[in-house]
A = this chain, B = another copy of it.
Amino acid sequence: MHSTAEENYIKAIYKLSGGGAHGVSTNALADALDTKPASVSDMLRKLSAKDLVHYVKYRGVQLTDDGRRVALRIIRKHRLWEVFLVQKLNFAWDEVHEVAEQMEHVKSELLVNRLDTFLNHPRVDPHGDPIPTENGEIPQVEQKALSALEVEQTGIVCRVKDSQPAFLQYLNRVGIQIGSHLQVLDKIAYDNSLEININRNKTVILSSDVLSKIFVIKP
């Protein structure tokens, strides 16, 4: 079917385009995939020939309907394996991404669907990212970046939008996990950082960079 390299490009295009919303630049892809722009150009020509992307030279790239279907299937597998690793094999949430990057490329319809059943059709992965259904639908939950909360407001952590171990380990250190109860105590105007109380207990100050990666729902 598709090579691992092709699948990784498609997944990257999907993510960088915000689920297909806008076009993606060659440099952005090179950056995300840790390759050179020249290699990206090569691959885009190939993906275009396979009708997985709409590609106009110098003007960026977008997924076709076919491409989007492929992307969602890979993301589904990635996130289901992450759930498996955490729930069944007791991995920590900062240990799963790299392994799932490999498992997502295993080809077997039967496998994905049996895994989904085995895990009881989970809606989200260990980082709170939604798991696409077999039909390529993504269940949406109303959520808000922590950076958008006002002083006094509260929220429950439902998602963190960065799966790099360094970031997740930082959250471990601070004491934030999915389900944590947060309250904004104060806003520091100087750099838009917030003073946050965690689980009505510890209080920390989070930078605007970190705040923009944490998502909450109404308590």
- A residues with a Cβ closer than 8 A to B are 85, 88-91, 95, 98-99, 102-103, 105-108, 110-111, 114-115, 118
Bound CA–CA A108/B118 (angstroms) = 22
A143 to chain B: closest CB distance in Å? 31
B110 near A91: Cβ-Cβ < 8 Å: yes
A89 in complex: contacting residue of B98, B106, B118, CB < 8 Å: B118
B115 near A89: Cβ-Cβ < 8 Å: yes
**Nearest CB to that of A103 among chain B residues?**
B106
A111 near B99: Cβ-Cβ < 8 Å: yes
**Nearest CB to that of A101 among chain B residues?**
B106
**Nearest CB to that of A114 among chain B residues?**
B89
**Nearest CB to that of A117 among chain B residues?**
B89
A108 near B99: Cβ-Cβ < 8 Å: yes
